[in-house]
Amino acid sequence: MARATDRASARLESVEEVSLTSLGGEDAILADSAAVVVSTALPKLVDALEKNWEALTRRDELVEVLRQGLRKPIGLVTFDRLADAWLSAPALREATSRTLVKDLAGVASDASDPLVRAAAMEKLLRIAEADPAARYQLTASALTIDPKATPAQAMARIVRVLGAAYELSGDRDLLIVLDEFTANDLVADAVEFERALIRIDMGLDAKTESEAVENLTAAREGLGRAHRLDPEHLEAAIYRDILDCVLLFHEGCPSAEIADIAHRLKDKVTSRAMLQLNDQPRAWIARRLTSQAQWTIVAELLQRLAGKLERPTWIDAGKVLDEVFTLYRGRMPVGDDAKERPGLAALAQLRIETSFIRRQQQLGLLEEYVQKMHSDDWGETATLLLDRIRERAGSAPPGKP
């Protein structure tokens, strides 16, 4: 009979660089599987199997040992390390792609420790980056959460995961789930913030000006509540400044008023990025940091155009018209590409059209652009803007209100 120190579970915990050989081989691991499953060192077994994946002769049985440890975790730290190791092991992850999502969803729905449930949802979110089917399991798991009975720390993590899941899927049913979470007052700021981000997205996707204003105004109010509940909530302050820039431009406010907020926004976004300077942020956090940086570009554009549109004409007419068309189409920078947001366009179009109707020299520049200078990129937009101006102006002479 093997001594306790010779068992695979003991070696798993004592050996620094774990390998199949150091553990005694596949048979030894399986013979001691009951103890291996409940070992805090179980995550190290993932690396040992991954290194010898092609040579394994009892692969399915060994994978089942890992699955047992995943489905019935002995604690948060071990579960977290095991799941992370699993997701970082290409061969193991590919071989278990069908069962891994199911197992994590089971933990997210049924684990006794709320923090383990939250961690399982975070792992599902990582999988959902590449596998859309995991998003449905994540949403289903969230529906099993009782917000009143779940501690604040776990609830806060779950709320953030759902907000990130929305950014991946655009599933507005998640707004309904978040509405249910308002029952837990301890995470009210986090819930208000994530709901506000969804309303911002709805506003930017709106087809009409009134729908865009309704959603962005509701989002602005939600961010205000989040900031009042937690005055240190930097991201709530960032997005509130973003909405102020957009809504002030829509309302016809002067450039100087927008500039103050745009400069403040840039400082806050820089501060937020500095907090992550020495960290490797998770994918969803990195997306938000990128989005916030992109919004500083849009805020500066709104500020510049608010000033340019008040002038009778422009020396740098080509550059100004390019920016006018960018905003008229609601184009948002997305990496090296651009995404058009109809709600942003709807909020900007009236002010842009009115400026050209009132200023004959601006209108003359636009007409010249349409006739002679337009590029393939903006030709259709310039013509559309000119047609809308003529339609709105009716029979009034150009340059008259």
Note the pLDDT tens digit of each residue in 304-343: 999 999 999 999 888 999 999 999 999 987 555 678 999 9
Tell me the C-alpha distance between 38 and 78, whole Å: 9
Residues 342 and 207 sit within 8 Å (Cβ to Cβ): yes
Q: How far apart are CA 281 and CA 277, in angstroms?
A: 9
Residue 396 belongs to a domain: no
Closest to 86 (Cα-Cα) out of 129, 118, 42: 42
Tell me the one-letter amino acid at 323: E
Number of separate domains in the chain: 2
pLDDT of amino acid 335:
54
pLDDT recorded at residue 33: 94
Q: Does a structural domain hold residue 112?
A: no
User: In the chain, which residues have pLDDT < 50?
Assistant: 1, 395-401
**Structural domain span for residue 43:** 1-74
* C-alpha to C-alpha distances, 343 to 152, 212, 246, nearest whole angstrom: 35, 5, 11
In a domain, 319, yes or no: no
CA nearest neighbour of 100 among 65, 126, 143, 67: 67
Give me the pLDDT at residue 3, please.
53
Q: Which residue among 253, 284, 308 closes a domain?
A: 308
- Cα(276)–Cα(293) distance, integer angstroms: 14
Q: What is the pLDDT of residue 334?
A: 59
Give the span between the Cα atoms of 182 and 352, in whole angstroms: 40
The answer to whether residue 209 sits within a structural domain is: no
Domain end marker among 267, 290, 308: 308
| Helices 97-110, 133-142: crossing angle, 10 deg rounding | 10
Among the candidates 308, 343, 369, a domain finishes at 308
Of 338, 341, 339, 246, nearest in space to 296 by CA: 246
Q: Which residues pair with 334 in a beta bridge?
A: 337
Distances (CA, A) of 295 to 179, 240, 319: 27, 12, 20
In a domain, 273, yes or no: yes
pTM of whole model > 0.85? yes
Residue 22, domain member (yes or no): yes
pLDDT given at position 401: 41
Whether 137 is covered by a domain: the verdict is no
What per-residue confidence (pLDDT) applies to 16? Answer: 82
Pairing status of strand 337-340 against strand 331-334: antiparallel
Is residue 167 domain-resident? no
Rg (alpha carbons) of the chain, rounded to whole number: 28
